[in-house]
Amino acid sequence: MRQIILDTETTGLEPAEGHRVIEIGCVELIDRRLSHNHYHQYLNPEREIEDGALEVHGISNEFLQDKPTFAEVVDEFLAFVRGAELIIHNAPFDIGFLDSDLALLGRDERMADHVSVLDTLDLARDLHPGQRNSLDALCKRYEVDNSSRMLHGALLDSEILADVYLAMTGGQSDLGLSFQAADAAEVDLSHLPKVARPELLVVKATDAERKAHEARLKAIEKSHGRCIWKTIADG
């Protein structure tokens, strides 16, 4: 399974007001493992960056003057992401800008023609309803180091989001629970001493804890199409 963690930085907040993408950062996951393959590109938006946006990402008009336009790199970018599942925090923002930039080039295609999208903000809201679910808040909740994030940056934020996403979805790639009964039968345990074991104390989950657990399993199933824990429980 190929997934791409994607983030963008822009000249402002609204593509309808003519704002453009100025940075694209992508990190590749193969079967939920970082492949160390990435795509990173600064872009000349051919317009001014709003002061508010500059305060967020620190990318200046002067820095972007000699960078390629979106038209010059669009085919390379689409080739990198094509066929993957994009994982984006607040996906409508980034997809909206990329679709707008495609439209400005007179191209009929949109991102949905090339990729599927998973929004980690939606996933976080399912897992943690009523709580703050910004990327910084999720880093704190899942103990992901974001100490280098002084300003927003597309590639850095993608790398951080990759760690957050994997933590949120619980490392579902392989829990190592499957084994052959025949293999187990070959293990001779007769030499082990018999030890009296104390009776285990069973602490039952509260209704709130069971509901929170079920919500997490549903979110994992939604993001991957299956959840190993639910398979075991149903079996």
152 is catalytic: yes
Give, as one character, the DSSP assignment of residue 48: P
Given the residues 36, 128, 152, 224, the one annotated as active site: 152
In 3-state terms, what secondary structure has residue 119? strand
Annotate 171-216 with DSSP letters as a single string.
-TT-------HHHHHT---TTSPP-PPPPPPP-PPPHHHHHHHHHH
Enter the tokens of residue 181: 């009964």
Tokens of 174: 């392989």
Contacts by 152-155 with C-beta closer than 8 Å and gap 24+? 152/9, 152/56, 152/57, 153/9, 153/23, 153/25, 153/57, 154/7, 154/8, 154/9, 154/23, 154/24, 154/25, 154/40, 155/7, 155/23, 155/25, 155/26, 155/27, 155/38, 155/40
Q: How many CA atoms lie less than 13 Å away from 227 in the CB half-sphere?
A: 17
- The encoded tokens of residue 117 equal 């999208």
Question: Which are the catalytic amino acids?
Answer: 152
